[in-house]
Structure 1
C-alpha cells in the first residue's frame, strides 16, 4: 500500500495591514470614554488632549506589535494561529471540531472594506480565535475553505506550495428563503413593554421635575441612565436584526445575514441544529406575529448575553412564514400539525391560570412542548439531537404525583414536558430514549 503524499504547509499569513488601526481606534475610544469630563475641567483642554495623544500613540504601537507577531495558516486539517511577543502562543484548531464560521463586519470594518472571522467549535464556551481583520474577499474565501475542510471534502485539499496561493472557491449559488420587512421589525419593537411604558416613564419624570424645587446631578443622571437602559434593548434589537435575510446554499446549509451598524453573515449546518423555539409575545398576537430561535451546537453567543448557544431564525413574521422555515430546518415537521396533550387536572394547583397553555406531544420526527401565559412558547426537538432524558420531581410535584420530563440536547436547552402524571412521565421518558436511539442509528446508517 502506497502512503498518501504529505500535505505541504502553506506560508504563514498576516492579517490586513489596517488591523492595528482598527484595534487601536476601538481602544482609544474606550480610553477617551474612561477619562471623565471632570478630568477635562481639572487639567484643561491642552493637557487633556496631550494625555489622549500619548495614550493613542501607545495603543497604536501596541496594536502594531500585536499585528507583526500574529499569523495564521492551514496545515492539513488544522488552522494554526500564533500570536504574542513576550509570551508566544500557538493554537491548533482541529477543523473536525469546527461547527460554524461567522463573518462579522463592525462599523469601522465596513468603512474600510474589512471583516473578521469568528470560529465556533464543539464544546467551546466562547468564540475561538477571531481573525480580525481580513478583506471581505479573503474572509469569505477562508470561511468556505475551513467549512469544506471541516466537512472533509477531498476536492479542497490541494497541495499548497510556498510560491502558490490557495485557490479561492467560487461563491456558491444560494436559494433565498426569506427577508424580514424592516417596517415590521420596527413595529414589532414598538410593541414591546419597554416601548409601551416609555411614555408613562417620561410623564413621571416630567411631573417629578415640575413638582421638585431642585434636582441633584446624581438624581438626573440616574433617571436618564435608567430610561436609556429601558429604551436601549428594543433599539439594539432593531440594529442587530436590520435587513435580516435567510438563504440555503447548494450543500444545504443555512445562510443567515443581518445587522446595520455591524453586519453579520453566518453559515449554519442544519445537522447541528438542536432545537427550534417558537415564541408568541403578548403584544404581537393581535397581528399574528411570532419569532423563531435556533439552538445550534457549538454557538457560544456573546459573552454575558442571555442568548448563548442560540441563534435567530425569524426575528418577526407570521404563521405561514414560520411554518415554511420550520419545514426547511426540520424536514418533515409541519408546524400546523404539532398537537400536544395537557397535564392532568390536578396540576392546576401549580398553574392556576396557565394550565391550558402547557402541553407535550410526540410526532414521528420531533418532541414538542409548550408553555407560557402572557408570552407563549413552543420547543421542537428532533429525536436524533437528544443527549439525555431526565425525570425530575419537586416537593410539590411529589405530593401531587407529578413529574417533569427533560429532553436535553447539546445546544444547552431542553424540551420539557412539565407536570405530567408520574406514570406518564416515566413512559414518556422511555419513549424518548428509544426514539432517540433509533433516530441516531438511522442517521449513522445514512452517513
Structure 2
C-alpha cells in the first residue's frame, strides 16, 4: 500500500477469542482422530499425556496464527493477511462480491462471536472467511463491504443498520413435513423391509448386516436433516434493494444478497410435494456453480411454501416478474419422438425482464434468467434432432444453474437466440448507465 493510499478500514486483527474457538475445533478433530484402539495400545496415562501435549501445541499454534492474521479495506478491495511460516495476502475486489453471510456456529454463539463469509463470482465456496469477529463488528463490516461493492463513496458507506421489511417466515412444521416427503426418507421403509425379508428367508442376520443397515440409514437421513437444520426458522426480509435471509438451528446464518447480483431463480415442484401444492425457490448468485448445480446446493429463497407465496416473493429478487403470467410456448409435435413424456411439460418464453424455461417430468422446474446476467447464447443439435428439425437453446450465465430450452424448431431456436443476444446487450448497457 502506497503512502498516499488511505484505507477505508485500517488493518485490524480478528477477535481475541478467535484462537480459543479455533483451538476447540482443532482439538475436537484431534480427539476424534485418536481412536479407542490408541487408548488400548498406549494406556490411559500415555493417552492423556498425548492429548495434553496436543492441547498445548494446538493452542500455541492458534495464538501465533491469530497474531499474524488480519484484514483491511482499501481501494475497494478486501485484503486478508494470514500465514505463520509462509505469509500470504489475499485480495478480493469488492465489485466481484455477490453476497455476504454472517454465520454463527454453536460454539461461536456461546462466545458471542460470528464468522463473516464472502461469496464472489465463480467461487465454489465462501471466499476468505473471517473467523471470528464480534457480532457487531461482523454486521458493520458486512454493511460497509456491500456499500463499497455497489460503488458508494467510502464516506457514504454508512455502517448504521437499515430497518428490514419482513416478506415471509416459513412455518417450521411445514419445513419438517416437507423433508419427510423426500425420496430419501420414503426409501427407508423399502430398504428396511428388504433387510427384514433377508433375515426371515435366510435366518441369518449378523453384526455386519446390522452395522451396514445402520450406516445406510444415517447416510439416507443426512441430507434431509442438513436441509432441515440449515433452513430452520427461515425468515426473508428486504431493505434498500437487498434480500436478507435469516435461518439456521445449530448454526445461525444471516445472508445479504444484493438484488442486482441475482443470476437466476428456479421454482421447483417436487413430485412428493404436489398433494400439498408446495414448491421451493432456489437462488443462484454465481458462486454455487462449482458445487454441482443441484437444487439443494443453490441459495434458498423459499425452502417450502405454496405457489401463491412463491409468486409474491419472486418479484423481490426479479422485479416485474410474475411466475403465474409467463408467456410460455410448448414444443412442436415432432418432439414426441425424443421427449415422449416431457413433450407436454417443456416450454419456454421471453418476458420484458427474463428468459423463462420449464423442464422436468417427475420434478418440474421453472428457471428464470434476467437478461443482464446472460453471458452467452448457443444453439445445439444432436443427430436425432437434425432429422426431426429440432434444436436446443442454451443460455449461459455466471451461476451454476443450467437454463436451456430443448426440442424447439430450428427456426424458433435461432430466432430466440437472436432476441436473447440483443436483449442481453441492451440490459447490460442499461445497467452500466445506472
TM over 0.5: yes
User: What is the aligned partner in structure 1 of residue 268 from structure 2?
Assistant: 279
CA contact (8 A) 2:289 2:400 kept: no
User: What is the aligned partner in structure 1 of residue 166 from structure 2?
Assistant: 176
User: What is the aligned partner in structure 1 of residue 283 from structure 2?
Assistant: 294
Distance (whole Å) between structure 2 residues aligned to residue 198 and residue 101 of structure 1:
37
CA contact (8 A) 1:301 1:307 kept: no
Distance (whole Å) between structure 2 residues aligned to residue 213 and residue 26 of structure 1:
45
Q: Deviations over 1:91-148 (max 9, x none)?
A: 2323233232211111111111100111122343442211100110111011111111
Question: What secondary structure, in the 3-state scheme, does the structure 2 residue paired with 1:194 have?
Answer: helix
Q: Which residue, 243, 247, 260 being the options, matches 1:254?
A: 243
Distance (whole Å) between structure 1 residues aligned to residue 118 and residue 9 of structure 2:
20
TM-score (norm 2): 0.93
Residue 46 of structure 1 and its aligned partner are, at CA, apart by 3.5
Residue 278 of structure 1 and its aligned partner are, at CA, apart by 0.5
User: What is the aligned partner in structure 1 of residue 431 from structure 2?
Assistant: 443
Question: What secondary structure, in the 3-state scheme, does the structure 1 residue paired with 2:11 have?
Answer: coil
User: What is the aligned partner in structure 2 of residue 124 from structure 1?
Assistant: 123
1:134 aligns with 2:133: yes
User: What is the aligned partner in structure 2 of residue 164 from structure 1?
Assistant: none
Distance (whole Å) between structure 2 residues aligned to residue 293 and residue 180 of structure 1:
15
Residue 213 of structure 1 and its aligned partner are, at CA, apart by 5.2
Distance (whole Å) between structure 2 residues aligned to residue 10 and residue 188 of structure 1:
44
Residues 420-431 of structure 1: pairs in structure 2 closer than 5 A: 420-431=408-419
Distance (whole Å) between structure 2 residues aligned to residue 383 and residue 186 of structure 1:
36
Distance (whole Å) between structure 2 residues aligned to residue 387 and residue 25 of structure 1:
44
Distance 1:210 1:19, change over 3 A: farther
Distance (whole Å) between structure 2 residues aligned to residue 45 and residue 307 of structure 1:
48
Residue 81 of structure 1 and its aligned partner are, at CA, apart by 1.6
Q: Deviations over 1:287-326 (max 9, x none)?
A: 11000001113x3488678469831100000011000111
User: What is the aligned partner in structure 2 of residue 401 from structure 1?
Assistant: 389
Question: What secondary structure, in the 3-state scheme, does the structure 1 residue paired with 2:344 have?
Answer: helix
Distance (whole Å) between structure 2 residues aligned to residue 205 and residue 228 of structure 1:
15
Distance 1:17 1:395, change over 3 A: same
When the two chains are superposed, the root-mean-square deviation of aligned CA atoms in Å is 2.3
CA contact (8 A) 2:288 2:400 kept: no
1:52 aligns with 2:40: no
Q: Deviations over 1:249-269 (max 9, x none)?
A: 1x2111111111111111101
CA contact (8 A) 2:292 2:400 kept: no
Please, which runs of 5 or more residues in structure 2 have no aligned partner? none
User: What is the aligned partner in structure 2 of residue 264 from structure 1?
Assistant: 253
Residues 357-376 of structure 1: pairs in structure 2 closer than 5 A: 357-376=345-364
Count of residue correspondences: 431
Q: Which residue, 326, 335, 353 being the options, matches 1:338?
A: 326
Distance (whole Å) between structure 1 residues aligned to residue 15 and residue 397 of structure 2:
39
Residues 178-193 of structure 1: pairs in structure 2 closer than 5 A: 178-193=168-183
Distance (whole Å) between structure 1 residues aligned to residue 372 and residue 256 of structure 2:
21
TM-score (norm 1): 0.90
Distance (whole Å) between structure 2 residues aligned to residue 307 and residue 120 of structure 1:
18
CA contact (8 A) 2:122 2:289 kept: no
User: What is the aligned partner in structure 1 of residue 379 from structure 2?
Assistant: 391
Residues 71-110 of structure 1: pairs in structure 2 closer than 5 A: 71-110=70-109
Distance 1:401 1:118, change over 3 A: same
Distance (whole Å) between structure 1 residues aligned to residue 36 and residue 293 of structure 2:
30
Q: Deviations over 1:314-368 (max 9, x none)?
A: 0000011000111221111111101322211111121222210111112222211
CA contact (8 A) 2:7 2:72 kept: no
Distance 1:62 1:301, change over 3 A: farther
Distance (whole Å) between structure 2 residues aligned to residue 76 and residue 114 of structure 1:
28
Question: What secondary structure, in the 3-state scheme, does the structure 1 residue paired with 2:327 have?
Answer: coil
CA contact (8 A) 2:26 2:58 kept: yes
Q: Which residue, 238, 263, 288 being the options, matches 2:228?
A: 238
Residue 197 of structure 1 and its aligned partner are, at CA, apart by 2.5
User: What is the aligned partner in structure 2 of residue 165 from structure 1?
Assistant: none
Structure 1 stretch 180-189 or stretch 214-223: which is displaced more?
A: 214-223
CA contact (8 A) 2:291 2:297 kept: no
CA contact (8 A) 2:290 2:400 kept: no
Q: Which residue, 345, 368, 380 being the options, matches 1:380?
A: 368
User: What is the aligned partner in structure 1 of residue 406 from structure 2?
Assistant: 418
CA contact (8 A) 1:404 1:419 kept: yes
Residue 155 of structure 1 and its aligned partner are, at CA, apart by 5.6
Distance (whole Å) between structure 2 residues aligned to residue 307 and residue 127 of structure 1:
18
